[in-house]
Amino acid sequence: METSIAAERNEGRGLTGTGLKWIATILMVLDHIHYMFQFTGWVPEWFSMLGRLSAPLFLFCVVEGFTHTRDRKKYFLRVYLLSVLMSGVLVLMNVFGIGVRPDGFYPMNGMMTSFSILMILWQGIDWLGEKRYGRGLAAVLLPLAWPVLLSALLTYIPALRLPGVVAIAFTVVPTWNFSLDACLPVLLSGLVLYVFRRNRNRQAAAFIAFELLYYLVYLGSMVSQLPDFHWTQMFTMYYEWYGAFAGILMLRYNGRRGGGHKRFFYAFYPAHIYIFYALSWILYRTLH
């Protein structure tokens, strides 16, 4: 893997898209090792600290891919199908309790859902730029409002509260929530990266500013109200703002696609999550 990254760095100055994906993949693996196996007490916290850079780097690469692909529908479909698959597994665990680890833990990874929603939003932004206001507003507003609309429907129409209906609503329709991977701040980060995509310096600066303002300033002010809070905890516990450092690597992007390995990255994301989860289950049973 190190050889692959080195090769990508040598393809002109800076990092290619594939080089960024390799870096993001390594950081993601570290993050998910901590996420899945932290119950052991064996995995250091800095695994997840470094992992905070992973999602923004992948998000940056998706912005580039969506911007330059020759077939946006095909590009969206690949991501959407993975989103439906992984959301289906999540619903089985969350709604039906199937496959949940004995301690109640189950993986809530939903970056593919965020990517699916963002592609719709980005297309809506482009339609608005083309003065196609009807479909543009629909593409921007409906995905953002869907969780609220869904909650209202389930509240006022009890007949819809069937497990099957809920399962379809949260899988077939990409739905953001309050997890770290598929939450509103991730969508806002993606919008910032897309809006400023034509100027790399402004794009990186806007991304860094958003990450610091939301995760450091805003969330910092929220958690500061907790008992026994100390500001050093922003570096040891509430370190989501470390993702801002991904902006530095974005500035190293040289605008080239690189070697690709497209199928590997699509397959690796869900595969490693469920393999790690299965191994964590086995280890939990062994230790308990």
| Single-letter code of the amino acid located at 176 | W
Question: pLDDT digits over 270-283, tens only?
Answer: 999 999 999 999 99
Q: What is the pLDDT of residue 54?
A: 97
Question: pLDDT digits over 151-183, tens only?
Answer: 888 888 887 877 777 778 788 999 998 888 889
pLDDT at 7 over 50: no
* CA distance linking residue 115 with residue 198, whole number of Å: 19
Quick one: what percent of the chain has pLDDT higher than 70?
95
Q: Give the distance between the most distant pair of CA atoms in the chain.
A: 61
The pLDDT of 55-79, averaged and rounded, is 96
Q: What is the DSSP letter of 179?
A: S
Give the highest mean pLDDT range of 2-11, 83-92, 126-135, 257-266.
126-135
- Placement of tokens 């801002």 in the chain: 244
Contact 15, 251 (CB under 8 A): no
pLDDT at 47 over 60: yes
Please, which residues bridge with residue 109 across strands? Answer: none
Q: What is the pLDDT of residue 170?
A: 81
pLDDT at 141 over 80: yes
Between vectors from CA 134 to CA 206 and to CA 62, what angle results, nearest 5°?
35
Please, which residues bridge with residue 183 across strands? Answer: 177
Q: What is the pLDDT of residue 259?
A: 79
Q: Which of 108, 91, 94, 96 is nearest to 169 (CA)?
A: 91
Question: pLDDT digits over 178-202, tens only?
Answer: 888 889 999 999 999 999 999 999 9
Q: What is the pLDDT of residue 1?
A: 52
Which pTM was predicted?
A: 0.92
User: Which has more confidence, 140 or 8?
Assistant: 140
Exposure string for 118-127, b = 16+ CB within 10 A, e = fewer: bbbbbbbbbb
